[in-house]
Structure 1
Amino acid sequence: MSLRRALADCVELAGADGGGLTLVGRGGTTVPVCASDESSDRLGELQAALGEGPAVDALDSGGPVLAPDLASTWVRERWPRFTAEALRLGRRAAFGLPIRSGTTILGVLDLYREQPGPMAERACADASTCAEAALAIVAGDGGLSDRHAEVLQAAGVISVQLDVNVGEAMARLRAFAYRRGRSPADVARDVLERRLRFTHRMDDI
């Protein structure tokens, strides 16, 4: 089974309209590895760049984060930039479900709906179980896409250039991409092809 097919099954089990998977790597680095559609991909990358959203909170808390109505006041106040973009993309509910192996959090499953409303407890459990299988594909046989692999590789290069850990390098790459309206994959390609070198003097990173 492909990673995208496994994710599609997660989305279907949850009765959602879209979803994404984020993997936790060494040093706590988070990498969105797959999305069911363009909007979910955008929201996964945005959460990683901004450090806000249901996936971020699910990883921090270790528990599910459920936002059945993204237009509600508490959600807008907690994740102002994420919520604005999600609503612009037609998403009205978002859910972040941590994926565990024992006590270790392997990643998080993001689920999105076009209509507000809660997600049933059984649907959450079924989707999480399915997501565990999806992350096993990533760990087992190269489920990580070329695009996301390039981002990880570029973060390694940046960590050497700046003498920082890979997690910090990843954060700087994402911030650079976000502030220029580019995708992390595009910036990563520039780094790997030596068109861009990160320095501490880059004042907007």
Structure 2
Amino acid sequence: MTADEMRAARLVAEAAAGAAPEELPRRLCGAACEGLGADGATLSLLTDTPSRQLLAASDSTALLLEEVQFTVLEGPCISAAASGEPVIVDDLDHEPTPWPLFGANMREKLPQVKAVYAFPVYFGDYVLGTMDLLALRPRALPEDAVRQAPEVADAVAAALLPARRQLLSGMEAPAWEPTEDIRAHWFDTHRAVGMVASHKEISPEDALALMRARAFRTGRTLADITADILGQPRNESGL
């Protein structure tokens, strides 16, 4: 790539270099949006497992995009994490997608989002998450931006490398901002899954499936269900 084509990755590296530790993931999202011309971005790890971890979301729309995908367990970021390949949805209104639950939820909850772009984030040879970009207009990212996006994802991974051990242990939520969002979409979900698994004497995967089913049945997010479980006695969780 030329120096101009590396601009987006350079913006991410510069944002990381000047960031306070608690601001790092959110600043990475902002730099990715600026460099690639997206309207929102999220970063998440281990997207297709009970240990899924939200690292940052640029705004409430991006956060809801992640909530939809993790609740229904399908969508561009799930596919990108599983395949290790970029997933491009240029026009949600007119392009058929292989994710019926994702499509229905997007039309209901985020009709303003017209395009979604998911790129795997690699640590070495392993895909451990995704960078999701959203746009409020179809075909928002030109070909050169899509071509640059994997380099941006690599720059994101490099910026997060010092926190790799903490990310993979999942033992405690980091002090990243906004704190409430990080806890609700990381550490608190793990706790709720563990409580349901213990109470029902089932596996964490089955516990998470029960929580997802309740979210889907009630039209709420998995974060809402998590808050219910953690705020109630175990026999009143509704699962």
Report TM bin, short chain. Answer: 0.7 to 0.9
Partner of 2:228: 190
Write the distance in 1 (CA, Å) between the matches of 2:33 and 2:194.
32
Answer yes or no: is the 8 Å Cα contact 1:43–1:82 preserved in 2: no
Partner of 1:108: 130
Tell me the SS of whatever aligns to 1:91: coil
Q: Which amino acid aligns with 1:101?
A: F
CA displacement at 1:99 relative to structure 2:
0.7
Q: Quick check: 1:18 aligned with 2:56?
A: no
Q: Percent identity?
A: 28
Answer yes or no: is the 8 Å Cα contact 1:9–1:130 preserved in 2: no
Q: Quick check: 1:124 aligned with 2:149?
A: yes
Partner of 1:30: 52
- Between 53-62 and 111-120, the greater mean CA deviation after superposition: 111-120
State the superposition RMSD in angstroms.
2.9
CA displacement at 1:27 relative to structure 2:
5.9
TM-score, normalised to structure 1, is 0.81
CA displacement at 1:60 relative to structure 2:
1.8
CA displacement at 1:106 relative to structure 2:
1.3
* Residues 167-186 of structure 1: pairs in structure 2 closer than 5 A: 167-186=205-224
Larger Rg: 2
Partner of 1:92: 114
Tell me the SS of whatever aligns to 1:73: coil
Tell me the SS of whatever aligns to 1:19: strand
Answer yes or no: is the 8 Å Cα contact 1:162–1:198 preserved in 2: no
Q: Which amino acid aligns with 1:125?
A: P
1:166 to 179, 197, 204: 204
Partner of 1:65: 87
CA displacement at 1:158 relative to structure 2:
1.5
1:50 to 55, 68, 72: 72
TM-score, normalised to structure 2, is 0.71
Write the distance in 2 (CA, Å) between the matches of 1:135 and 1:142.
16
Write the distance in 1 (CA, Å) between the matches of 2:229 and 2:207.
12
* Aligned residue pair count: 199
- Between 104-113 and 179-188, the greater mean CA deviation after superposition: 179-188
Write the distance in 2 (CA, Å) between the matches of 1:42 and 1:85.
10
Per-residue CA shift, 1:65-105, capped at 9, x if unaligned?
A: 11112223332xx1233234435431111111111112221
Q: Unaligned regions of 5+ residues in structure 2, if any?
A: 1-18, 168-173
Change in CA separation of 1:8 and 1:198 when aligned onto 2, cut-off 3 Å: farther
